[in-house]
Amino acid sequence: MLTILAVVAVVAGARIAVGQFGGGECSGQVRLSVSAAPEIAAAVQQSAASWVAGKADVEGTCAVVDVRAADPADVAAVLGAQQKVSLTGAGAPRAGVTPPDVWIADSRTWLQRLRAAAPRFAFTEEGSLAMSPVVMAMPEPVAKDLGWPDKKLSYADLVAQITTSTNFRAGTVDPSRDAAALSGLLVLSSTASTLDQRRPGTSNGLLRALATDTSVLRDDLMAQLPQGDDEGSLAGGLGLAAMSESDVVTYNAGKPPVDLTALYLDPAAAPLDYPFTVLPELGQSQAEAAHQLYETLSKSSGFRDALAVAGLRLPDGSTPGGFVSPDGAPKRIGPSPAAGSGEAAASTTDGATIDRALAGWSAVVAPARILAIVDASDSMRTPVPTARNASRMQVTLAAARSGLGLFSDDWQVGLWLFAAGAGPGNHRELEPIGPLTDNRDDVTAALSGIKPAGGDAGLYRTILDGYREVQKGWQAGRVNSVLVMTDGADAGQKAGDIKLEQLLTQLDGAKSADKPVQVIVVGVGDAVDEAPLERITQVTGGGVFVAEDPAQIGAVFLQALSLRTASTR
């Protein structure tokens, strides 16, 4: 048989095509497109090429495999758009990125996020192909100053250094676009939340410190590491960042001026686990080709060798032959040898935990100009049994104060309340929209002073007036928003309020593509009528988020803030 193996590498597109065409053993073609995380793409291509060259066929049909290296965030954005959902931070689909038949992302967290956003998205996971622990990476001299390797450092040590030291820089890649950074954020945030009990404000301090040195791309983060071992370079460069072990191995292999130390802390952060994911709606032959490719990669000694070159471990956390470990790295990573792969550790991070972490992150890093409007009507006096009978108003204001603590000083925030008799249109300005550098204390004090002010009042006129107020002072470079916190009781049925159709008509006439203003509604309790509120946000952009149990409003509040888009013009 004459076999022609075509291997075409296009550097600009990071695309590798592997095809087999022959006579005798197979005929026709079954095509399979594969998008793989850049660090594993070359290993996948090599084994796919060997599979094809070895007369691979799928039920008598010739296999043609197209392997493309692609940023997992870009693939997630394309798949999200296909399902009519968006993932926080993933952004809009990038030109040239198309949905593959098989996706080898760097982490199962991408699948968890997609599954949470689009529960009907029925992809199939064959298993993990590789593993790379997520470590806390530090320039070696910086780690030694903290006592490494003689002292076993903890997350608490690192959080304290990040939040209290005046000459220590910790950085991160945007965790909404980078799985290793997300894993690191989760473990550091968990530690900071525990420390909040002894040192209030630790969580906010951690997020703000990391946000100060945030990079969109991994390469940008690496460029901020010290470029010399002198005191000035070490003080000016990054001192800490969550990275994959593979990143540390690759960086040190380049003989940098200062090597990175990888800290393997307890409990271990969720590792990168490279799931082999078969996307839905494939034909039977394509599905079989995908399964055969997975089996080939899982059993190939050549693939294991290629993983070692890429600085990646085997799925069970052991090191393949030729793997160059960072100093102090354990030979095996994972919950236990019986676990069989990194999947068990990764699966302990659920979608809700990821959503909360990214919501808090988004609340800190996205520049905003926001008018917060608090419902001070009589129904907000209703007690919440699950919050020790605190009123709806009390739990709402507690969530608002917590959120305010996350906002950086470059946020611009204003505050209104609305209730019957509160003022013209049944609403009253407590604080004009202004930078938190000047009015943080005033906004905090005004929040603390809000109490149910009297009779119930409708929402709609207040939403319209608030929308016009934000639009009037609209600023480029910021997310301009109206945030309404209400229990929504009898929305639109109060005397003096406008009708829903009037509101929708006037909002539609007022909105401007050049000056977008979105409306975000945080509903409190089980009396919120979501349908009319969703009609409002369909006109303006934004969304409706309801905490039927008001005791959970804190998480809902952060989730709502994470919705803010980059429609800043």
| First-to-final CA distance of the chain | 60
Question: Domain 366-562 sits in which CATH superfamily?
Answer: von Willebrand factor, type A domain (3.40.50.410)
pLDDT at 102: 97
pLDDT at 343: 36
Look at the block and give the residue holding tokens 């809009």: 92
> Any residues with CB less than 8 A from the CB of 159 and at least 6 apart, and which?
188, 191, 192, 195, 202, 206
pLDDT at 454: 65
pLDDT at 342: 35
How far apart, in Å, are the Cα atoms of 126 and each of 59, 97, 114, 162, 279?
A: 20, 23, 17, 39, 11
CATH number attached to the domain at 134-263: 3.40.190
pLDDT at 349: 67
> How many CA atoms within 13 Å lie on the side-chain side of 333?
34
Identical fold, 134-263 and 366-562: no
Instruction: Give buried/exposed letters for 222-246 (b at 16+ CB in 10 A, else e).
Output: beebbeeeeeebbeebbbbbbbbbb
Rounded CA-CA distance 440/427 in Å is 21
pLDDT at 123: 93
Q: Domain residue spans in the chain?
A: 4-130+273-333, 134-263, 366-562
Helix, strand or coil for residue 375?
strand
Rounded CA-CA distance 71/320 in Å is 25
Q: In this structure, what DSSP letter does residue 489 have?
A: T
CATH number 3.40.190.10 given to 4-130+273-333: yes
| pLDDT beneath 50: ranges in the chain | 1-24, 335-347, 565-569
